[in-house]
Structure 1
């Protein structure tokens, strides 16, 4: 199954809600929807954590409830928080304020090697490489 999500624990083989943690989760979602940053929302809810941890928490569908986990959040709150995150991500993308590296255009090499590589009668690998490099330079 993996790690138990924050807000739950396993009791007698079933997931149960930890009420204090569930209240923090609800408050984190509400704070984020209200305009706080991921990290500030968690800090204000009394559970400081890294923004990446809060982001993963916002994405966890188990908080909506499923066959194993009881629901902590309603669908509207979950959807609003994720829509807010997407909106903020889109704004940052348009402003060019993301840490993602731009996609580089595919490099096209104009180097053509000779059809037959000449016999290498050099004594050392360095001399062989030097000779082949010399052939490439003269090709330009």
Structure 2
């Protein structure tokens, strides 16, 4: 098994709640849901971690409990935090969705004159090859 999440410890092969750290996690969730930033919520909870580490704690579904980890956070609080995190990200413009490509596609057909010159310099050879292009044909029109 990999890293044991903050708030748990392993005893006799089973995950048990570390009560001191579990209180900090509960405070972190409460502070974040009350409107505090990640850094402020972590400071109030007494958790010293980087911004990404705090975000990972808030995203960790194990705190709701599963077959191995006992619950520290109520499912309703976890879901409320996820919704709050997504709302904040949307307000800050941090939700990136793929945009449909509009417009014409890149031309894929070319009319090229025949060339017979050879250059030792690859850049000059490339310039020469590009100079042979007579016209571009739109792929949709071909």
Same fold at TM > 0.5: yes
1:132 aligned onto 2:126: no
1:109 matched residue in structure 2 = 106
Counterpart CA distance in 2 for 1:128 and 1:59 is 54
Tell me if the contact between 1:42 and 1:54 (Cα under 8 Å) persists in the aligned partners.
yes
1:5 matched residue in structure 2 = 5
The offset of 1:103, in angstroms, is 5.0
Give the structure-2-normalised TM-score. Answer: 0.78
Pick the structure with more helix per residue.
1
Give the structure-1-normalised TM-score. Answer: 0.79
Kindly provide the CA deviation profile for residues 82-104 of structure 1, in whole angstroms up to 9, marking residues without a partner as x.
Answer: 121122122223xxxx3859858
Pick the structure with more strand per residue.
2
For residues 5-24 of structure 1, the aligned pairs below 5 Å read 5-24=5-24
User: How many residues are matched?
Assistant: 134
Counterpart CA distance in 2 for 1:33 and 1:57 is 14
CA shift in 2, pair 1:64/1:101, >3 Å: closer
CA shift in 2, pair 1:120/1:128, >3 Å: farther
After superposition, the CA RMSD in angstroms is: 2.7
The offset of 1:49, in angstroms, is 2.1
Tell me if the contact between 2:64 and 2:78 (Cα under 8 Å) persists in the aligned partners.
yes
Counterpart CA distance in 2 for 1:75 and 1:100 is 27
Counterpart CA distance in 1 for 2:98 and 2:127 is 36
